[in-house]
Copies of this chain bind each other. A is one copy, B any other.
Amino acid sequence: MSFFDIVLGKPLRSVDERAEHIGPIAGIPVFGLDALSSAAYGPEAALTLLIPLGMMGIEHIVPISFAIIVLLGLVFFSYRQTIDAYPHGGGSYTVASENLGDFAGLLAAAALMIDYILNAAVGISAGVGAVVSAFPKLQPHTLALCLGILLLLTLINMRGVKDTGVAFLIPTYLFCGSLLLVIGVGAVRVLLAHGHPVPVVAPPRLPPGTAALSLWLLLKVFASGCTAMTGVEAVSNGVQAFREPTQKNAKLTLTMIIALLMVFLAGIALLCRSYRIAATDPNGPGYQSILSQLIGAVLGRGWFYYVAIASILAVLALSANTSYADFPRLTRAIAQRDYLPHVFIIRGRRLLYSHGIFALVGFTAFLLILFGGVTDRLIPLFAIGAFLAFTLSQAGMVMHWKRNPGPGYRNRMVINGVGALATGITTVVVLVAKFSEGAWITALLIPLLILLMSAVKKHYARVDRETAVTAPMDLSQRQAPLVVVPVDRWTRISEKALRFALKLSDQVQAVHVDAEDCGDQVCDEWKKNVVSAFQAANETPPDLILLPSPFRLVLMPLVDHILLLEARNPDRQIAVLIPELVVKQWWQYFLHNQRAQLLKLLLLVRGNQRIIVINIPWYL
């Protein structure tokens, strides 16, 4: 087993593909981590904005959470229908571009790419942020920790989907289990205490309110709370990853994820109100997260508290994983329509679209470095992309049913239409509420990405047009090429090049650029070693051409000579033989070939269709 085999797993055959597919049990960690972990920061983000209202603010979290849950329900029904209609994976991109046209598709593609990258960055930075608040000594290493986790996730994901599922199974179910337990026990206590439970560990006291309630504030709270919904679309995009019956398994997984998330959001909101738990200032001393207060209030600070907190940390850090599962699938779908480089289509040794993973890791690392791994600075960029994609996907589904009217298609149109309207309004709310805090970056990136993808598409279309074959091959004009052999000194390397040249053509010329005043020496060696051999065989030797070089440049006179030769022989191809030393150690590379590489580059840049470069390798 090679090093790569051990780290990344053995390569997989195409025929093994089925075996890599997963069921709902593994599907929840793989496609649901993102959505479920949002419960750990969505309510917190909303409650933080309510701090200025003091104890009054807590009252408002319940209606806002229920608004989000209703929205989540609409999105759920909408995506169930998408899974039905697109058994091969109907992410927002596919649905929007197939039903609303290319531009809507690109809009969805750009929104989703940004969303997945931000999800990876936010997940990692939130996890590291939690670890760092537990161990403040690690504070200076925040960014290094973020990048380390990014690397770890990448290695795990390069092993493939199934192994990934196993790796994330335990923390996910630990997280869901503890949260459900806390909510269940809390609910019973609230009922027994007739709505006024006594907390085991009392949450910190709230400072008195300093601001008045306003619609604008509630809108911002709603916008922040909506981050709890990010990641919901993952399942519909990855239907193909499920085992047979594919659609049924996918829908079951989606149902379980959404149900869990709804229970979490409702439970957290209701318990916060009953236990009088409010957010604390994340930048002030004595900061404590909502979930930490809640677990302490319901079950105290025993061993269970630490298990639950650890599972939250793990799930936050690992929620980035959804991006690893979905981003490469998305870029592949986009690349298949020629809007992204074709490397995203190539599957690697473990049946993954490796280049998509590389791109995701690169951009995530860039974001983490740019924002220093600080979650607070990343969050405002976040929800826009997700909600834009929701909207486009559901609007696309409306068109889908309109075009494919089946039984009950009107009801389906209404469901998707309501979803589209609700998420569309939410998109506008989030954009306006968070514009100045960072949403403008996303709003700027989306059109830039669209421009980029259009340019890629245009380029591929042009290449296809230019290289399309319209007629059978033309077999005329099969004269051997003119061959040029640049000679610096006469060595076995130049001898090998000349010998190869003589195999290709009987019109060969050696060219020496006389930049270092050693032309005479080269001529002597040429006569002694080449001309004599040809004379002995009664053949005409090839010409040796000496090019003067007043500026001591070696390459430009050579390139000029080749271009002149090409211009004078419009019916011939010119082959230039460039010897290259192949070295064993990397550092030896710096000792050779600089001129050869530069010559190849110059010939490519200044040359044309009729100039061919031939590398003659010399192995030391």
A613 partner, pick from B499, B534, B588, B614, beta carbons under 8 A? B614
Give complex CA distance A469, B580 in Å: 17
Q: Type the 1/0 row for A311-339, where 1 means its CB is closer than 8 Å to any CB of B.
A: 00000000000000000000000000000
Contact A492 B468 (CB under 8 A): yes
Contact A573 B500 (CB under 8 A): yes
Interface size class of A (residues with CB under 8 A): 35 or more
Q: Does A67 contact B (CB under 8 A)?
A: no
> Other CB < 8 Å A-B pairs besides A463-B620, A466-B492, A609-B618, 6 of them?
A467-B493, A469-B495, A472-B532, A481-B503, A612-B617, A613-B614
Q: Does A212 contact B (CB under 8 A)?
A: no
Note all chain B residues with C-beta closer than 8 A to A590. 341
A343 partner, pick from B594, B614, B616, B618, beta carbons under 8 A? B594
Q: Does A607 contact B (CB under 8 A)?
A: yes
Interface stretch, picked from A169-177, A284-292, A296-304, A548-556, is A548-556
Give min CB distance, A555 to chain B, whole Å.
10
Note all chain B residues with C-beta closer than 8 A to A471. 529
Contact A581 B463 (CB under 8 A): yes
Sample (24) of A-B pairs whose CB atoms are under 8 Å apart: A12-B551, A13-B551, A463-B592, A468-B491, A468-B492, A469-B495, A469-B529, A471-B529, A472-B536, A473-B533, A474-B499, A475-B533, A475-B539, A477-B499, A478-B503, A480-B504, A481-B500, A500-B612, A582-B605, A608-B617, A608-B619, A611-B617, A612-B614, A614-B614
Contact A478 B502 (CB under 8 A): yes
Q: How many copies does the complex hold?
A: 2
Q: Does A490 contact B (CB under 8 A)?
A: yes
Contact B459 A553 (CB under 8 A): no
| Nearest-CB residue, chain B, relative to A502 | B478
| Nearest-CB residue, chain B, relative to A535 | B472
Give min CB distance, A551 to chain B, whole Å.
5
Note all chain B residues with C-beta closer than 8 A to A529. 469, 471-473
Contact A13 B550 (CB under 8 A): yes
